[in-house]
Amino acid sequence: SQKIEQNSEALNIQEGKTATLTCNYTNYSPAYLQWYRQDPGRGPVFLLLIRENEKEKRKERLKVTFDTTLKQSLFHITASQPADSATYLCALDLSGGGADGLTFGKGTHLIIQP
Amino acid sequence: GAVVSQHPSWVICKSGTSVKIECRSLDFQATTMFWYRQFPKQSLMLMATSNEGSKATYEQGVEKDKFLINHASLTLSTLTVTSAHPEDSSFYICSARGWSGAGYEQYFGPGTRLTVT
């Protein structure tokens, strides 16, 4: 069966450390993989997109890797801050270009402790 | 940047009534909009794809007669929950497909919290 798994429901990280979130998927072949941030009671906010032919993408303190052989993406936040505390969602774009809807994981609740 | 709004942000209705939720792309035109539903501590689940000027495409298990979608213009899509029941209580989120300059992306609205009593 098809599924997307994100590591643990909650991840506690000390401020200043690097937070690493995992997204594993089974029986999908996404053209793109995206990461979103969602705060309580709010819609998702786009962070990064990585294509199937890309290994790594960076944006400021964020880094995403994509391994299509392992069917895994890692999302890193360096020099983490309490303001980074939120739920982070992994989403698969199966067709590429957003022509179809996205398939989301349940998310990882990240808590950055001062 | 591309902004998507939803109205209302929250609504409480009685069982058996209908509720309409609006999704607007404020500064871009979107030929395609999507509707998602999210239950507490669950992932966003795609309900339907809405294309301007044509009928919506519903995901398996989503009742099209219960969740009416209209995409009458390039900036507005509406979702009407008909004869709502308590199990329809959820967080409804829309997104609009727009050109980012580097490719197409989905831009999400802030969501609408529906509570059916």
List pLDDT tens digits, range B66-117: 999 999 899 999 999 999 999 999 999 999 998 877 777 889 999 999 999 9
Of A46, A100, A104, the CB nearest to B49: A100
Q: Where are the domains of chain A?
A: 3-95+103-113
Interval A50-104: pLDDT, tens: 999 999 999 999 999 999 999 999 999 999 999 999 999 999 998 877 778 899 9
- Partners of B44 on chain A (C-beta within 8 Å) are 44, 89, 102, 104
Nearest residue, CB atoms, B46 vs list A98, A101, A105: A101
Q: Kindly report the number of other CB atoms within 10 A of residue A99's CB atom.
A: 13
The b/e string for B24-34 (b: 16+ C-beta within 10 A; e otherwise) is bbeebebebbb
Q: Domain A3-95+103-113 maps to which CATH number in 1.10.10.10, 2.60.40.10, 3.65.10.10, 1.10.3720.10?
A: 2.60.40.10
pLDDT at A51: 92
- Please work out, in degrees rounded to the nearest 5, the angle formed at the alpha carbon of residue A33 by the alpha carbons of B36 and B7: 25
Best CA proximity match to A81, nearest among A63, A64, A61: A61
